[in-house]
Chains A and B, each alone.
Chain A
Amino acid sequence: MKGLKIIVLAKQVPDTRNVGKDAMKADGTVNRAALPAIFNPEDLNALELALRVKDTLPGTTITILTMGPGRAAEIIREGLYRGADSGVLLTDRAFAGSDTLATSYALAQAIKEMGHYDLIVAGRQAIDGDTAQVGPQVAEKLNLPQVTYVEEVISVEKSAIVMRRRLENGVETVKSPLPMLLTVNGSAPECRSRNVKMLMKFKHARTITEKQEATEDYTHLYDHRPFLYIREMTVGDIKTDADQLGLTGSPTKVKKIDNVVLQAKDAKKLNTSDEGINDLMRELIESHVIG
C-alpha cells in the first residue's frame, strides 16, 4: 500500500523539567526567558511514532505543524533533523494569548489549508500547560475519529489503522478508520537522535521571516535548495473568524495563581511496629496523600 500523509502537531515549550530559582516571576507566571525552549517531550514521542510508520511504509511523508512565535521554527528544524519531510509554522500576533480552544481552532483551520492528509499525530499534552486538550479538540473541529494515549501503531491497513493505547490498568488495542487523529503517551518509544546528515542538510532551513532577519549571508543558497524553505502561515493564510482567535477566542480565565514552594519543615520519627505503620497509613489517607 502507498504511504500516508502524516501531520505531526508539535509545540515549543519552556523546559519545566529543569526549573531553577528564576523559573517563576513574582506574579506567579512562568518566566519564559529563564527557561530554555525545547521540543515538548510527548510531541517527540509523537514524531517517533510517525517516523516508525514512515520506516515501515515507504512513501509516507511527515509534516510538522507548530503554532508559536517566530523562534518556534526551531521545532520544525529539530523535526527535519530526525526525518520529517517539511514543516509549517503558524505564527501571528492574532494568535497571542490563545487558550486550548483558540489554539485548536487555529490549528484545525490551518490543517484545512494544508491539503490532503491521512493521519494527525500529537503528543498527549505539553509540559507547560498539562491540559491534554488540544489534540482531542482539533479532532473534534475536523470531525475526525480520535484515539488517545497511543503507544504504538501495530499496523496500517487500507483506510484503517490499528494501535495500542496505554490505560491506567493495562493496554487496549483499537482500530480506527483513516483519516484520524491520535495522541501519543509519554510511555511510547523515545524519539531517535538527530541524523547528522539531515542536520547538516537542514541546518540552514529558515522561514521567510527568519530569512529577512538573517545576519549570516547564505541567502544565495535558498534559490537552488528549495527544501530549506520552511512554510510560514499567518492569520491571512487561513480562513478564520476573528472572534475565535487569540485572547478574544479564549474563554479560559485565570482566576488565581498560587506560588507553592514545597519544603519539608520538620521530620517525624516513626517506630517500625505494626502500630506505627498503621498510624502512618491513617495519616497519609487523612491528608489525602494516598487514597
Chain B
Amino acid sequence: MANFYNDNKDLKFHLSHPMMHKLVSLKERNFEDKDKYDFAPLDFEDAMDSYDRVLEVVGEISGEIISPNAESIDAEGPQVVDGHVKYARGTQENLDALIKAGLMGITLPRRFGGLNFSIVPYIMAADIVSRADAGFVNIWGLQDCAETLNEFASEEQKMRYLTRVVHGETMAMDLTEPDAGSDLQAVQLKATYDEKKGTWLLNGVKRFITNGDGDIALVLARSEEGTRDGRGLSMFVYDRRSGGVVVRRIEHKMGIIGSPTCELVFKNAPAELIGSRKMGLIKYVMALMNGARLGIAAQSVGISEAAYREALQYAKERKQFGKPIIEFPAVFEMLSVMKAKLDGSRTLLYETSRFVDLYKTYEQISEDRKLEPAERNEMKEAQRIADLFTPLAKGTTSEYCNQNAYDAVQIHGGSGFMKDYPVERIYRDARITSIYEGTTQLQVVAAIRGVTTGGYLKQIRVYEKAELKPELEKFRRILISLTQDYEEAVEKVVASGDDEFIDLHARRMVEMAGYITMSYLLVLDANRDSSHLRSAQVFNKMAKGEVKARAEFIRASSIEDIGLYKY
C-alpha cells in the first residue's frame, strides 16, 4: 500500500514545527468550534492528530490512485466536447476520490462545510498530491481561489459559492488574455452592467486558463469603460450553470497535460461583482496570486520529491561496470545535491506557509474582534515576511524542481529520454512551474525590493541569532561571512543609483538572499533533528560556492556592463 505521506518523514518533521502550536490555537480560536461541530478538534494535540490522520488519507489516495493514474492521463489528456471540457478518465477518478474523501475546502471555515485547517497542512497536501501527479494538482489545488472569495466576497455570496466548493465543485481563475499575460493591466474582457437584467455581463476572450471550464470562476474584467490600466478592472465570479462561456480550444502542451488549459469565449456571460469595483487587479488579484504562488511552490516541491525518488531508485538498481551507478561519485554527488535542493525548497516552503498562515488568521480574527496592539504588530510583521518569502519561494522551488528533473533524467541516461520511465513526464511537467503564476524573472521583480530595502537582511539577522547546538556553530560562521558578501554586493549595486543596473543584478542578489536564507533554515532543521544534518551540510557547501560566485560577479561588474548585454 503506497502512502506518499507515511513514506516521507520530512513531511511529519515540518508539520511538527514548534510554531504550529500558535498557528493552530489562533486558527481554532481556542477550540471554540468543538461544541458546534462533531469533527472539530478538542485541543492542540487533537488538532495535530487530525492533521496527521487527514494527511495520511491524502497520502493514501496519492499513492494508490493519483500516482498510478498519472501515466494514462498524460497520454490521454482532456478533450473539448460541445464547448465544454471532458477530463481524462483518470483525472475524473482522482477528483471523485478526493471529493468523496472530503478533501475540498480544506482551509475554509466550518460554517461553509470546510475543515478550517491551517494553511500548513493544506500546502502539505498539495506537496503530496503534486508528487503523485503535477498536472492533476492544478485542478484540485484551484480550491484556493475559494480563499479569495472567503476574503473578499459578501457573506451571502460565500454561503452560495463556498458550500459548493466543499462539495467538490472545481474552480478557475480567469486572468490571462491574448494580449495580457505578465502585464495584467492590459486586460480587455468587458464587463457591462445590464440594468434590465440586473446583472453584469461579460464579453471577450480569455486564454491559457487552467481548468477554464471549472464550475466557479473568478474573472478579471474591465468594468470601467474608457480606462486602460489596472484601475479600471474589477473581479467577478462566474457560475458555469449560468452559461455564456464556451471553451474554444484546449492548448496542446509540453507537460501537465491532464490539466486543461483553455481558451474561453465569453458571450453575455452573467457574472457577479466581488467586493468593490476597480479593486480587481490592485487588491484581489494580488491576494489571489500570492495564494497561487504558494501553491506553485508546493507543486514544485512535490515534483522535486518525485524526481529525486525516481533518480535515487534508478541509481540503486542500474548496474554498470559491475556495480550500481549510485556508487560512482559523479552520480552520488548529483543525488545528494538534488536532495539538498529538495530539502532547501521544502523548508523555505513551510517557513513561508507559516507566516502566510499567521497573518491570514489574524486578518480573519480581526473581522470578529479588534486585535490587541501586540497582535496587530505580529500580524504586520508576519505579512511583511510572507510577502518577502512568497516570490522567493515560488522562484527558488520552481527553478530547483526543473534542475532536479533535469538531473533525474540525466541519471537515467538514455532510458530517461524514453517514455518508459516516469522521469520523462516529470521533466516535462516541471517546466511550467518557473513560468506560470509569474515567471522567475517576475518573482525577482517582486522580490527585489526586499533586497534593496533590507527586508531579507533583517530576516537573515533573525536566523543568525538563533540558538544552535555547538556542532552547528561552524555553519553560522560561514553564513555570517556570506551575509557580508551579500551586503557588500547589494550596497554596491544600490549605490549606483541606476535602475537598469539594479535590474541587471536583481536575480543574482535575490538568489544570494535565497541561498543564505535556505541554508539557515536547513541548519535550524538540523538543530531540531539531526537527520537533516547531511542536507544542511551539502546545501551549505553549495551556498558558499554560489554566493561567492555571485559576489565576485558583482564585484567585477560596473555600470558599463549594461551596454555589453543590451540589445
Q: Which residues of A contact B (CB under 8 A)?
A: 192-201, 203, 218, 221, 225, 227
Chain B residue nearest to A18 in the complex (CB): B1
Q: 1/0 contact trace for B92-109 toward A, CB 8 Å?
A: 000001001111000000
Contacts of B115 in A (CB 8 A): 196-197, 200
User: Which range holds the interface residue count of chain B?
Assistant: 10 to 19
The CA-CA distance from A192 to B97 in the complex, in Å, is 7
Pairwise interchain contact A193-B97, C-beta atoms closer than 8 A: yes
Pairwise interchain contact A195-B100, C-beta atoms closer than 8 A: yes
User: A258 to chain B: closest CB distance in Å?
Assistant: 29
Contacts of A227 in B (CB 8 A): 38
Partner of A193, one of B40, B41, B50, B61: B61
Pairwise interchain contact B101-A193, C-beta atoms closer than 8 A: yes
Contacts of A194 in B (CB 8 A): 57, 101
Contacts of A199 in B (CB 8 A): 50, 53-54, 57
Contacts of B61 in A (CB 8 A): 193
Q: Is B42 an interface residue (CB 8 A)?
A: yes
Contacts of B54 in A (CB 8 A): 196, 199-200
Contacts of A203 in B (CB 8 A): 49-50, 53
Chain B residue nearest to A55 in the complex (CB): B100
**When A and B form their complex, what is the total count of cross-chain residue pairs whose Cβ atoms lie within 8 Å?**
46
Contacts of B102 in A (CB 8 A): 195-198
Pairwise interchain contact B39-A193, C-beta atoms closer than 8 A: no
Contacts of B41 in A (CB 8 A): 200
Contacts of A196 in B (CB 8 A): 53-54, 57, 101-103, 115
User: B31 to chain A: closest CB distance in Å?
Assistant: 13
The CA-CA distance from A218 to B31 in the complex, in Å, is 15
The CA-CA distance from A197 to B38 in the complex, in Å, is 9
Pairwise interchain contact A193-B53, C-beta atoms closer than 8 A: no
Most chain A CB within a 10 A radius of its CB, from B38, B40, B50, B54: B38
Q: With A199-B53, A200-B54, A203-B49 in contact, is A193–B60 under 8 Å at CB?
A: yes
Chain B residue nearest to A195 in the complex (CB): B102
Partner of A192, one of B38, B40, B42, B100: B100
List 27 interface pairs A-B (beta carbons < 8 Å), by A numbering: A192-B97, A192-B100, A193-B57, A193-B100, A194-B101, A195-B101, A196-B53, A196-B54, A196-B57, A196-B101, A196-B103, A196-B115, A197-B115, A198-B39, A198-B102, A199-B50, A199-B57, A200-B39, A200-B41, A200-B50, A200-B54, A200-B115, A201-B38, A201-B39, A203-B50, A203-B53, A221-B42
Sort A-B residue pairs by CB-CB distance and give the 10 closest, nearest first: A200-B39, A201-B39, A193-B101, A196-B102, A196-B54, A195-B102, A197-B102, A201-B38, A197-B39, A200-B50
The CA-CA distance from A137 to B115 in the complex, in Å, is 44
